[in-house]
Each structure stands twice: as structure tokens, then as C-alpha cells.
Structure 1
Amino acid sequence: MSAWEEIRGLIDRRDADAVAARIAGLDEEARKEVAGRLPGYLKTLRGRRESWERLDDHAEVLRAAGAGVLPGAAAVATWLNRRDFTTRWSPAYGGHRADPDDPRGPAGGVAGRPGGTARAAAPDGG
């Protein structure tokens, strides 16, 4: 089973913790594979819904996946803030704000990345 098949299965199960943990163990080649396939899978998920429906039930797991595999801080920031992932429960709508220090959230996925991406993506620039 490829890294992408494993991650896709975890996305389908909506298990953000398992996605973050699995991605932390991927090598650079596997991260690139997942990063290359993730945007297409987002389109697949959107295609299973009505045009007005958001991806509320997949937002957390997709954020975790993208934070862990996309190249560079700008790509990660763009992915995390996609309109598809803005749910009615997000802070923009008065919902719960995630704890940025919780390693299970998207910040945990970025923190486990090799190189300077985690520092570059940090709110204070590292």
C-alpha cells in the first residue's frame, strides 16, 4: 500500500490524529506523493456533495494532511485557510478556536516537518 493510499484511508475515516501521526513518519518522497495527490482528492470529495455544501466533516483531517506534506510555509498557510475548510463552527462564525499548542491540530503537523518549514510557518516567523 502506498503512502497516499494509507493517508487517503485515514482521511476517509476522518481521523486527523492518525493522519498527523502517519505523516510524521513519512520520508520526503512519500510526503511529495501525498502532497501531489491531496488537491485532486479535495476535488473528489467536493464532487460527492452539492455545490453549496462545505466540507465540515473533513476540514480538520484535510488541514492536518496538508500541513504535514505541502511544500513551504506559503502553501501550508493557503491550504489551512481554504474557504472549503471554513465551517460554521470555525472562529469566523463565532465557533470554537483550536488551541494552537495542541500537537494534534494542524500546528502539530507543521511542527513535525523537516527543515525550516515549521519555523517559517510559525506566527512569529520562528
Structure 2
Amino acid sequence: MVEGGQASLVGLAPINFELYKDSHPTTYISTKLCHVGDNLDRYLMGRQFMVIFIAFCINMAGAPVGGAELWGLPKWVIDIFLVTGFAMILLTCMIGQLATQVNASHCMLDYINTYF
């Protein structure tokens, strides 16, 4: 939701609110609040800290137990992908961030037209 919401809010900034007031009421409320003054800039700055926190928590939650072996893989493969956290970075970017950004960039109104 973090990445997709950001893509939708930034993409809808130049669009007139009244065009989707009746068809997407939740989007109308969100964008009307967000696009007043410097609220969008504040949201984007706060979002950066939230993304760092989420990525840190995901990396800590998905980190392997020290000395764990996986499917008989060589130690150098485990060191590169698991110990360094590279596998969790790829997983987070590909599944958690990229998919939501792509969906939100194509369906901006529908993506944030929810209370979730």
C-alpha cells in the first residue's frame, strides 16, 4: 500500500478533483486532503522513513538463523544471498514494491479508492 499509494497520489496531483468526485469518493477525499499546500511533500518525506522501517523489519523477520544450511547449497551462495540479506532485498523489491507501483500507475483512481 505504501508504494502504490505514493504512485497514485503523485500521479493524480495535476488532475482536477471534481472529475472523479462521484465515481471514486474515497480517492476524492484522499487527494483533496493530500494536495493542499505542502501536504504531498510532507507525505513523501514521511513515506521515505516508513519504507526504510518496513524494509528493515522485513529483513530482520526473514533473516536466516546463524549457521543454517539450505538445500545443500555451497557456503558462498548462502553468504551472498542469505547472510548479506540480498535475497530479502530482491524479494521485497520485486513482490512488495514493484508490483504495487505498476498496478497503481495504471489504475490510480481505483488503487486508492479504499479505506485500507
Would you tell me which structure has more helix in proportion to its own residues? 2
Same fold (TM over 0.5): no
- TM-score of the pair, normalised by structure 2: 0.34
Structure with the bigger RCO (C-alpha within 8 Å, sep 6+) is 2
- TM-score of the pair, normalised by structure 1: 0.32
Query: Which is greater in Rg?
Result: 2
